[in-house]
Amino acid sequence: MGVLNVTPDSFSDGGRYLDRDAAVARGLELIAEGADVVDVGGESTRPGAEPVDEAEELRRVLPVVEALAGRTRVSIDTMKPAVAEAAVARGAWLVNDVACGLRDVAAATGAALVVMHLRGTPQDMQRFAVYDDVVAEVHRFLADRAREAREAGVGRVYVDPGIGFAKTGEHNIALLAALPALVAGEFPVLVGTSRKRFLGTLGRPAGAPPLPVDDRREASLATAAWAMAAGAAIVRVHDVRPAAQAAILVGDTAPDRALEAAS
Ligand code: HH2
């Protein structure tokens, strides 16, 4: 899954694809690099991000969803029911529900759904990064929400531990280490680590500032490869080409594609 943020303020690509044509061109580039799904978002969820008005979010994402939907599977990354509904009406296949509020839209429209773990809102979520047992609590939350979605009539439900959402670096690492247990559950797993802050702190002295976003690519790829090797069905990444290569290496794609790539 390639990330396409049609926003001025996303933490790693904010402002680069705010223009419709630039966003569509980037979406086509992600497909050419090997993305099977393009995740279109019009509102940043980074810690402290400013909320976006519904009309503005619709204006940002709908033309991009519409242009890409005929060419690949499109996912809509939103917290607003009206945005999810309009995007599905324009061809989106998946509702990426980062705030656990869009189950009924997916059920009513027939779209697939991602249930992601989050506490609070992007504005205040880091205040809630307190757990007795982060793995048990997140896995239980996901299983409960995913079963509810299935019972509400959603046909395909993915679960996502929400790396970086109301989590410390230690929580993120514990959840990544526990991916095999999540994969062993009932629902296919989606994981998004790409360029996130905690990757910039790995191996750094305590108190040192995290590495800048552009220096988190190697750790992003390492975690994507780990997630695929652990059996994640979808990894959400900004840098699709290396992740697609890693998918072949870990045998995540059909053997004939791996063979083609090797010849
Ligand atoms: N992470 C981000 C946004 N959406 N969706 C899912 N399912 N899982 C994630 O881990 C996830 C997500 C944050 O990354 P990004 O889109 O790059 O930044 P921003 O929220 O600032 O637009």
Q: If you average pLDDT over residues 33-49, what whole number do you get?
A: 92
What pLDDT, on the 0 to 100 scale, is given for residue 214?
A: 94
Cβ 103 vs Cβ 113: under 8 Å:
yes
Q: If you average pLDDT over residues 99-106, what whole number do you get?
A: 96
Q: Answer yes or no: is pLDDT of 12 > 90.
A: no
Mean of per-residue pLDDT scores for the chain? 93
Give the lowest-confidence range in 1-15, 59-73, 158-172, 173-187: 1-15
Distance CA 200, CA 149 (A): 35
Cβ-Cβ contacts under 8 Å for 211 (sequence gap 6 or more): 199, 200, 201, 204
Q: Answer yes or no: is pLDDT of 263 > 50.
A: no
Give the lowest-confidence range in 54-58, 163-167, 204-208: 204-208
Give strand ranges (E) for the chain: 2-5, 37-41, 73-78, 94-97, 112-116, 157-160, 190-191, 234-235
Distance CA 190, CA 175 (A): 12
What pLDDT, on the 0 to 100 scale, is given for residue 253?
A: 53
Which of 150, 127, 165 minimizes the C-alpha distance to 44? 165
Q: If you average pLDDT over residues 73-82, what whole number do you get?
A: 97
The yes-or-no answer on residue 167 being catalytic is no
Exactly one of 196, 204, 216, 257 is catalytic; name it: 196
pLDDT digits (tens, 9 = 90+) for 240-250: 999 999 999 99
What pLDDT, on the 0 to 100 scale, is given for residue 260?
A: 43
Q: Atom 18 (ligand 1): residue with closest C-alpha?
A: 10
Cα(13) to centroid(ligand 1), Å: 11
Bridge partners of residue 191, in order along the sequence? 235
Cβ 202 vs Cβ 217: under 8 Å:
no
Question: Which atom of ligand 1 lies at the shortest distance from residue 9's CA?
Answer: 21
Q: Which residues of 86-106 are buried (b: 16+ CB within 10 A; e: fewer)?
A: bbbebbbbbbbbbbbebbebb
The yes-or-no answer on residue 196 being catalytic is yes
- How far, rounded to the nearest angstrom, does the alpha carbon of residue 75 sit from its chain's CA centroid? 9
Which of 225, 215, 33 minimizes the C-alpha distance to 4? 33
Q: If you average pLDDT over residues 172-194, what whole number do you get?
A: 97
Burial degree of 247 (CB within 10 A; 0-12, 13-18, 19+): buried
What pLDDT, on the 0 to 100 scale, is given for residue 255?
A: 45
Give the lowest-confidence range in 55-64, 120-129, 131-140: 120-129
> What is the assigned CATH class of domain 2-262?
alpha beta
Question: Which atom of ligand 1 lies at the shortest distance from residue 45's CA?
Answer: 20
Q: If you average pLDDT over residues 21-40, what whole number do you get?
A: 97
What pLDDT, on the 0 to 100 scale, is given for residue 168?
A: 95
Domain boundaries, the chain: 2-262
Cα(2) to centroid(ligand 1), Å: 11
Distance CA 65, CA 255 (A): 31
Q: Atom 5 (ligand 1): residue with closest C-alpha?
A: 98
Mutate to test the pocket of ligand 1, among 1, 3, 9 (most ligand atoms within 8 A of CB): 3
Cα(45) to centroid(ligand 1), Å: 6
Cα(260) to centroid(ligand 1), Å: 32
Ligand 1 pocket at CB < 6 A: 3, 5, 7, 10-12, 41, 44-46, 77, 96, 98, 114, 116, 160, 162-163, 190, 192, 236
Question: Which atom of ligand 1 lies at the shortest distance from residue 190's CA?
Answer: 7
Give the lowest-confidence range in 9-13, 19-23, 251-255: 251-255
Indicate the pTM of the whole model.
0.94
What pLDDT, on the 0 to 100 scale, is given for residue 257?
A: 42
What pLDDT, on the 0 to 100 scale, is given for residue 49?
A: 83
Cα(19) to centroid(ligand 1), Å: 20
What residue type is 38 in one-letter code?
V
Cβ-Cβ contacts under 8 Å for 32 (sequence gap 6 or more): none
